Amino acid sequence: MNERVALITGGARGIGRGIALNLAANDWKVAICYRTSQLEAQDVVRTIEKKGGKALAIQCDVSDPAAATQLVQQVECIWGRIDALINGAGPYHRVPLFEETVEGWTEMFNNNLHPIFYLAKAVAPGMKARKSGRIISFSMANADKMEAQPHVTAHYIAKAGVLILTRTLAKILALDGITVNAVSPGFIDSGSAPPGELDGIAKKIPAGYIGEVEDTVQAVRYFLSDEARYVTGANLHVSGGWGV
């Protein structure tokens, strides 16, 4: 497919940045959106353009349904299409459940789950018209186990919701040639973890080490590949066995 276009939320930093740089190096046009990381987003665009790729960065709060829809429309207006939607934005915080605030609780759903619905609804018409498209969202490696999570409760519930939404979207969009899948990382050294959080974690991972951004990038590349054309509704763990 020529002139493939990817829209990546959270593409300014960490895993999203890694995906953006990899796709651009493989002849994708890349649109990243950011909420506050303007300098990092501009750096991604400069890095891609220096290597001859095409990229743009758009400030957008995708927790706002109108803004999310406008983001999709803006990318489609500039480049004519969106072939892949990669939902990479997903902040979290660690706090005991009964110390959580209403605002903090709501934030986890507004930023981890709801935007996937808003953006999928906005990109679906164009993908349906072309009978082709890929939607990839990020959950977490143990979200499918429905375990108690006293310190990341809202975030965990939202990530479990991502899996349900992924399977639902996969089912209703399959006839239109659109695949919808989830990537569920474990502990990845992406630069997003608070200082000290990854210390000592490796010994709890069956593989014995913490994953790299490239590990998640390759999972995304698989779901975007022609080899995965018949794979939809899947949840791919990228965790070295943690959370299994």
Q: Burial of 77 by CB count in 10 Å (0-12 exposed, 13-18 middle, 19+ buried)?
A: exposed
Distance CA 161, CA 85 (A): 18
Tokens of 187: 């502990």
b or e along 109-133 (b: 16 or more beta carbons within 10 Å of the residue's beta carbon)?
Answer: bbbbbbbbbbbbebbbebbeeeebb
Tokens of 59: 């400030």
Distance CA 162, CA 72 (A): 20
Distance CA 216, CA 219 (A): 5
**H or E element at residue 67:** helix 65-79
Tokens 């999203």 belong to residue: 16
154: nearest Cα among 106, 121, 98, 190: 106
Told to judge if 209 belongs to the known catalytic residues of this protein, a careful annotator would answer: no
Instruction: Point out the catalytic residue in the list 34, 92, 118, 156.
Output: 156
Distance CA 146, CA 163 (A): 11
| Residue 159, CA distances (Å) to 14, 36, 137, 166 in order | 18, 22, 10, 11
Active site residues: 156
